């Protein structure tokens, strides 16, 4: 996000990589993430000045400091790569999420009006295209291409077309079976429920497929769903049932990284929402553009390349922990 002009609040949230096993460990980690860290931060921010406004323990192993920051305002994505900061994370076994809030209100809620999520390996635990491959016994071939695409080793559209070509002949009603086996990620419902209670627009935009994205929209109560559309071919001599043709529909946009970013920006414009008040979560390299465009973009349990390049990253066990980043007081399924 842009970090220009005026005073701002820097919200720094610490997540222990493993929750403290004893009260002593909890107290030690809490102190380290408070006053000790403030001294380290001051040197990292220079010549900007910071004042610690508040410090609180959100849950065992989760702490948050809020600072008033003067010009020149820092870029959160650069702070997380500062050598002294990464050394602090390693020493205290924490992951730090940095969030710069411009013209924020005095309460603890992060200004957020639009939340956009990836689907596969984010809101759900599986990669749907790999599950399609499993249905016809070619999991290894398709999964290998998926992994390369999510790590950014090949262009997403190229990889998608290659994988779809291998899936020609999959029964067109395969979605009914997948809806029985696909699992929604831990904490996803709690996170979306929290956002809806705050009146935040919620969106899934997926490089996967429309039948599953629309199903997930209904399961979680999301406002919008965007995904790829596939061509279905009728029965023929080779496949004596309606089946996937192995091709993308030419009548619909292909959900590539640029399109994901476009969805974020166009919905924000349509609803008169500043990008600084948007929140994005994803795990693959095709999410990097929209993560970078958001007010707060978090790579969740992401692939290695995405962990390095995303504005922020977190490797937790429940998406409900992200509620803390938005000002929520508790993780509902903890």
Point out the residues that are catalytic: 118, 120
For residues 77 and 91, what is the distance between their CA atoms, to the nearest angstrom?
20
């Amino acid at each position: 996000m842009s970090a220009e002009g005026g005073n701002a609040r820097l919200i720094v949230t610490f997540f222990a990589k493993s929750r403290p096993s004893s009260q002593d460990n909890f107290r030690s980690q809490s102190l380290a993430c408070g006053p000790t860290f403030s001294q380290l931060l001051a040197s990292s921010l220079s010549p900007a000045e910071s004042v610690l406004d508040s410090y609180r323990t959100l849950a065992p192993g989760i702490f948050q400091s809020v600072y008033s920051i003067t010009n020149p305002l820092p870029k959160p994505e650069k702070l997380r790569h500062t050598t002294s900061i990464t050394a602090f994370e390693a020493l205290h076994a924490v992951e730090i999420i940095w969030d710069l809030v411009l013209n924020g209100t005095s309460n603890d809620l992060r200004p957020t009006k639009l939340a956009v999520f990836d689907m596969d390996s984010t809101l759900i635990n599986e990669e749907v295209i790999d599950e399609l491959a499993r249905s016809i016994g070619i999991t290894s071939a398709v999964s290998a291409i998926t992994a390369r695409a999510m790590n950014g080793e090949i262009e997403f559209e190229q990889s998608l077309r290659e994988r779809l070509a291998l899936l020609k002949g999959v029964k067109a009603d395969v979605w009914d079976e997948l809806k029985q086996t696909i699992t929604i990620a831990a904490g996803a419902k709690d996170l979306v429920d929290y956002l809806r209670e705050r009146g935040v627009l919620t969106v899934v935009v997926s490089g996967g497929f429309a039948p599953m994205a629309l199903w997930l929209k209904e399961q979680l109560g999301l406002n919008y769903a965007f995904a790829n559309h596939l061509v279905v071919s009728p029965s023929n001599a080779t496949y004596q049932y309606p089946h996937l043709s192995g091709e993308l529909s030419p009548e619909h946009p292909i959900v590539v990284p640029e399109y994901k970013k476009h969805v974020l920006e166009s919905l924000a414009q349509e609803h008169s929402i500043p990008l600084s008040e948007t929140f994005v979560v994803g795990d693959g390299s095709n999410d990097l553009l929209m993560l970078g465009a958001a007010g707060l973009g978090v790579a969740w349990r992401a692939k290695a390349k995405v962990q390095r390049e995303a504005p922020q990253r977190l490797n937790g066990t429940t998406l409900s922990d992200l509620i803390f980043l938005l000002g929520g007081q508790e993780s509902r399924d903890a």
